[in-house]
Amino acid sequence: MKPPTYHHFVHDSYLRGWERDGMLRVYDLRRRSVRPSKAINTGGENHFNTFLPDPVVIEALEYALSGNRDRPGEDAIYAYFVSALKAAASAQPEQRNQTFIEARFNIWESEIGPVLAQLASGDRSGLDMGAQGSLAKLFCMQIMRTPAMRSAVLGKFQGHAAGHGLDARQAEDFFKLLPVAHAEAMASTLMSGGVTIRLHNSGGHELLSSDRPAALVNWPLRRIEDLVGFMPLSPDLAMSIAGSAQKQRSFPPSTVSQARVEQWNHLIIDCADTLVFLTDDGQVEKYRSRLQLRAGLLAG
């Protein structure tokens, strides 16, 4: 059986929260058009995570991830990642549709899906350590695996790739792998250093999502411990997340004002790269002027 070639960069179990009668609305900022879609059929690209396990790429990646000796915990995560990558490459040395990246995210998604289902059922009284870890992983995953972040990483590290003599195909594969390693290290650092997660009920005012649903408030981020971010979890629930030097904490959900929901929705639209996800046509009309403004800025 061939592995799937359509790879989500937004977790489809997460996007199902925006479906109404089995469909959500997808506003395409590049085309300035809206279409109905199932969550399984949007938020992804063909071959987004496929790559050829080239030894030259793996060597360059190992070198790029080895310069953090002042943070031994993070360095250990990178070393483990490279070790797992080498094992996968040895098992599938000639296959362009190598499943390593998809498999790494599938492990996380198998943990995240039940937590999202628990929250959707209305069980929001508190988050145990496992649920906190899953939400931290969701946030880090959605920060790092978007097309926009891949492009940003490409811009930051393209000199490194060129310095290792990588051709265009090798550079593309290098920048597919690098954010995955960063996501794993980011989540591990958050959980080991302490993280505070708060849940926020939207009070009946629906939240949006996008192809960049995890928003960093303090970007560029100098230290993971200083992270402050926001992410909608469903149309009626959001989370705020912050790194901390203290023990992991969670709080009972609070209900936010309509003004705060509007502020968050504008942030999601303004950060979107190509796609904005909404529940129905009424929500599209409500935010059409803001969507068109964002589309105009991207076109310019």
Residue 11 counted as domain residue:
yes
Predicted pLDDT of residue 65: 86
Instruction: Check if the beta carbon of residue 294 is closer than 8 Å to that of residue 266.
Output: no
CA 238 to CA 156: how far, in whole Å?
Answer: 30
Residue 127 is encoded by which pair of tokens? 């988050």
Residue 46 counted as domain residue:
yes
CA 52 to CA 269: how far, in whole Å?
Answer: 34
Cα distances (Å, whole numbers) of residue 130 to 48, 87, 181, 214, 219: 29, 28, 21, 20, 27
| Residue numbers of the domain that contains 186 | 6-299
Using CA of residue 263, residue 44, residue 146, residue 237, what is the dihedral sign?
positive
Residue 82 counted as domain residue:
yes
Residue 214: CB atoms within 10 A of its CB come to 24
Residue 266 counted as domain residue:
yes
Predicted pLDDT of residue 74: 80
Instruction: Check if the beta carbon of residue 40 is closer than 8 Å to that of residue 77.
Output: no
Residue 1 counted as domain residue:
no
Residue 14 is encoded by which pair of tokens? 């997460």
Residue 292 counted as domain residue:
yes
Instruction: Provide the number of structural domains found in the chain.
Output: 1
pLDDT in tens, the chain (300 residues): 566 789 999 989 999 999 999 999 999 999 999 999 999 999 999 989 988 888 889 998 898 888 655 666 788 899 999 999 998 888 766 665 578 898 888 889 898 999 998 888 887 776 788 888 899 999 999 998 888 888 877 776 666 666 667 888 888 888 899 889 989 998 988 888 788 888 999 999 999 999 999 988 876 777 778 888 999 999 999 999 988 755 555 567 789 999 999 999 999 999 999 999 999 999 999 999 999 999 999 887
